[in-house]
Structure 1
Amino acid sequence: MAKKKTITESDIIGFYMDHVLTYGEQPKSIYAFAKTNNFEEQKFYEHFSSFETLEQCVFKVFFDNAHEVLEKSEDYLTFDSRNKLLSFYYTFFEILTANRSYVVHVLDDCKNQLKTIKVLARLKQRFINYIEHLNISKFDIKQEQLDNIQNKSITETAWLQLLVTMKFWLDDTSSGFEKTDLFIEKSVKASFDFIDTTSFKGLIDLGKFLYKEKMHAN
């Protein structure tokens, strides 16, 4: 059978995810993977250097798909930064849920150390860039060095918040992951309340929610 002449990044990602979900592990080699899916091994290297870089790209694609959906929404473009971030969360986690079997397979063994997992590296790059362009209101600091520290703090805190939400979603056993939706609503509200320093009600509300969930789990 003639090899496929045209093979896209999306094709390779689809083949890879299907293999992982079918066999529960990475393909034995890139050569075997290409042969099984009837394309030249060289085509793989035109897009990825290894299975590890491919896995990083999967989560980047999840982000890109969510962002693309949002950018096509006229309503989203009129939202303030809080509601844009909230919309992103809901859309992103819808995509994760649609691919939950794969995401759980990749992340479940290391969900307690998501912050350091390399597979999320390209997602982090995309997400931090997204946060930097949300124009989140900050303290008015008349000093460049302190302002840079504040910007770094906001992006790193936002990334940590996303990781915590992913961990919550991985552990969520509620119908339709409704508890994750509630967690998203409360955590985003709390984070903006903290930045704005106009209200701490959101922080208190989130604390009560997490305490209730912990008590229920115990």
Structure 2
Amino acid sequence: MAQDIGEQLILAEWLFVETVDDLRRRSTNPETRTRYELLGIAPLLRKLLTDGKALLNTIKTTRPEVPIEFHIRSWNEIEDKLAAAGLPRHFGNGGERIIGDPGGPAVGLEQFLKTDIGVAEGNDLSVKSVIRYYAHVEGGVHFGKPAEPGESTLNGMAPLLLGHSTGQIQILGSLGQIAVDAMEPLRQSILSEPTIHGLWHRKDDHGRFMNHWTTEYLQALRD
């Protein structure tokens, strides 16, 4: 049943759906995206997952029955063969290999953000630290100086890769794909049973809410 609990949540649900859609567009086929398009993934992930009042948590509070599962492979899992051969990596990230199988093991948001997906000069790079680096050092949100472990190494390579390779930053596309898949059940839940205002939104003969953002949104998908 659609929840009649206030216009503020209506706005949050709209923003969540649009942000997930934007994340999906930027994360699909990351090898074909420009560096600027990929950099734009960082603020979307930050807004959805890591901000103090992360948008995902705001929405999830009102829909606790909807599962949120992140399918991800850690750097250690990917690099086991190299390590076993005595060839530890000093720099690298898991790239598209971090994307887990849909039916495989899954983790929640907290563990997802803690998962190590790369290394830079001996410093493990977690999902959260990678998002932070691209959001606050390379300019996804703010352009700043490297301050956290591993950031100086990443930042030192970025100017050398600019203009001829997006290989390093494509990791954001892989993170975006994992996040989109995890949040899709919540997105579908909103579109099928959105929060409404009891006085403003009445169902029409087709079962759609009049004057509600989802009616226009779903119509645009059909067109």
TM-score band (shorter)?
A: under 0.3
Select the structure that is richer in strand: 2
Q: TM-score, normalised by structure 1?
A: 0.28
Select the structure that is richer in helix: 1
Q: Which has the higher contact order (CA 8 A, sep 6+)?
A: 2
Q: TM-score, normalised by structure 2?
A: 0.27
